[in-house]
Amino acid sequence: MSQLNNLIKEVESIKEQLTDHPLYANLKHMDDLHKFMEEHIFAVWDFMSLLKALQNHVTCTQVPWRPNEAPTLARFVNEIVLGEECDLNEVGEIKSHFEMYLDAMDQIQADTTGIRAFLASINQNKSIDDSIKENKVSAVAANFLKFTFSVIESNKPHLIASAFTFGREDLIPDMFIGMVKHLSQSENVDCSKLIYYLQRHIEVDGDEHGPLSLELVERLCGEDDEKWKEATAVAKQAMQTRIELWNGINEIIAA
């Protein structure tokens, strides 16, 4: 069995916990969806920092430019950046997926003041920790952010790729879309922007991105046993951190 297959097998049980998490069944009312999105938006935001860190390592973002040794992987990462940072929304406007998510929150009147205040601090070049403290980001979201940036700050491409591949893939089941549609019908609220975001998110991941993201991990770890060991540990941590985020949001909703 290859090193990659070993890694995939190692995280199977953790992935099952995410797929079957009770949070999905507990999103029963529009107020529950508000609470979910108000916390989850931080994970939508920090995904782009993880992706940009990966782009810095896998592609050439420096001047003078240098040709890439793995152009297939460079194209893969650049395609994801294009799709996430400059996609078309439901009316054909160019927007990032983060901005689409914010628009979806505004449409259903979820509170965006927390994430907007946090971003205002980031725009003032304040650190992640200072921005979290100044804006009283919930412990649930703060822990998720801190883990993401600890991986980025490791400056190890194989760890960033592992967190990206195993911590961000297939984490919103199809049933979530069905739940949103049901809520919009039962409570007579227009959730069209959120439904579009979810459908688009699944589309751009697609069948191609999954295999290529696995190849990215495989290429960056190579034949180095220590890198595979580290990548496996980070993959587990990334998925466990997501479970903790879901647990925390579930507790907020229950409260």
Mean pLDDT of 3-13: 93
Give the mean pLDDT of the chain. 91
| Integer CA distances (angstroms), 175 to 170, 181, 182, in order | 12, 10, 10
pLDDT per residue as tens digits for the range 118-136: 999 999 999 999 999 999 9
Q: Which of 8-12, 175-179, 222-226 has the lowest mean pLDDT?
A: 175-179
185 pLDDT tier (thresholds 50, 70, 90): confident
pLDDT value at 149 more than 80: yes
Domain ranges of the chain: 3-254
Q: Which residues pair with 134 in a beta bridge?
A: none
| Beta carbons within 10 angstroms of residue 159's beta carbon | 25
Its CATH architecture, for the domain 3-254, is: Up-down Bundle (1.20)
171 pLDDT tier (thresholds 50, 70, 90): low
Residues shown for the chain = 255
CA 132 from chain center: how many Å? 18
CA 94 from chain center: how many Å? 20
pLDDT value at 170 more than 60: no
Amino acid, single-letter form, for residue 243: I
Amino acid, single-letter form, for residue 59: T
Mean pLDDT of 32-53: 95
